[in-house]
Every structure is written in C-alpha cells, then in structure tokens.
Amino acid sequence: MTDPPGRHAAGAPRPQREPHNESYPWPERPREGLRAQPWAESTWMDRDAGPVVRPYAMTGGRVHPSSSAFDVVAMVVVNRAALPGVSELGHGLQPEHRAILAYAREPLAVAELASHLDLALGVVRVLLGDLLGEGLIEIYHPPAAGVLPDESVLKAVINGLRAL
C-alpha cells in the first residue's frame, strides 16, 4: 500500500500565539538562529516557534496590495527618476520599503525580494503596492498566463540550457 500523497507532510497547525499589541514597536525578526537550512524540504515543519511578529504587522494589517497582484516572477526595479524625491516622502516609508528600494536597484523577481527580506510573499506584495503607488518602482510582469513565449525565446532557452 502506498501512502496517500502528502501524508508525511501533514504539518500540524502552528501553535497559536498570544495576540499582541501591534502598535508596539516590534522586536527583531529571528534570523540565523531560528532559520533552518533553506534547502531541506521538510524544514518548515520544524519551525515550531513561528515568527515573533505576525507577518502582516508591518503592513498595518493590510493583506491585499493596493494594485493588481504581483506574480512571484514579476521583475521589480527601482524607478531611479523618482528616487531623489524619496526623502521628501519622509516618514511615509518604512524600513522594509527602503530595503526593497535598496535590493531592487537591479531588476529582481518578487520571490527573490521576499527571500532576501525574509518576509512573506503577501507582505512584500502589499509593500510593493505602496511603492508602486508612489511611483518609486517599476514592475515588469511576466508573459500573461496562457500565452506561450515566442518560439525564438523557447529556442534560446533550450540552447542556453544545453550550453550550461
């Protein structure tokens, strides 16, 4: 008898944490010590502690970005033309916003940003929505769903993979 798919991965829900006052300055998110090997397939199940801060605390509880969804591979890049105005926006930007601007000096996928910032994808999307609203970043969406890339692109990928 084979096991039903996913049975081994039936992760119990994380222990419920005490609700805390989200207006209180949040402590540092846990970094190295609590972060398990990123490539071990099962590690997420062992992180019983969970994040110290509720993931959406830094978005003020907002769970939906202000503009359309950002694909995990949408490319984000700073709008350098708008950057000189950043200081004028002043306190409107949180440290996480500034961190995104710092990482996205070169084009970077949304998933990479989230990984570097150690923030949940949904959180990063809300923050990106803020930055897009301020005109501080540009987003390049991947080809629309259902639209296959040009044959020339596919051939380039095949040749590129062969050459690796």
Partner 1 sequence: MDSGHSEVGHRSVPTAIKIVVAGGFGAGKTTMVAAVSEIRPLQTEEALTSEGVDTDDLTGVERKTTTTVAMDFGRITIGSDIVLYLFGTPGQDRFWFLWDELALGALGAVVLADTRRLADCFPSIDYFERRGTPFVVAVNCFDDTETYSEAEVRDALDLDGHVPLLLCDARDRVSSKAVLIALVEHVLALATSRTRS
Interface residues toward partner 1, by CB under 8 A? 2-11, 13-14, 16, 19, 38-44, 47, 50-51, 54-56, 63, 71-75, 77, 79-82, 84-85, 107, 109, 111-112, 114-116, 120-123, 138, 140, 142-145, 148-149, 151, 153-158, 160-162, 164
Nearest CA to 74 out of 134, 124, 147 is that of 124
28 or 106: whose CB is closer to partner 1? Answer: 106
Least Å distance between CB 8 and partner 1?
5
4 or 25: whose CB is closer to partner 1? Answer: 4
Q: Which helix (H) or strand (E) holds 138?
A: strand 137-140
Least Å distance between CB 124 and partner 1?
9
Least Å distance between CB 94 and partner 1?
17
28 or 88: whose CB is closer to partner 1? Answer: 88
Residue 59 burial by CB count (10 A; 0-12/13-18/19+): exposed, middle or buried?
Answer: buried
62 or 94: whose CB is closer to partner 1? Answer: 62
125, two tokens? 């999307």
Q: Which residues of 129-148 are buried (b: 16+ CB within 10 A; e: fewer)?
A: bbbbebebbbbeeeeeeeee
Task: Tell me the C-alpha distance between 84 and 155, whole Å.
Answer: 41
24, two tokens? 């209180």
Least Å distance between CB 42 and partner 1?
8
26 or 47: whose CB is closer to partner 1? Answer: 47
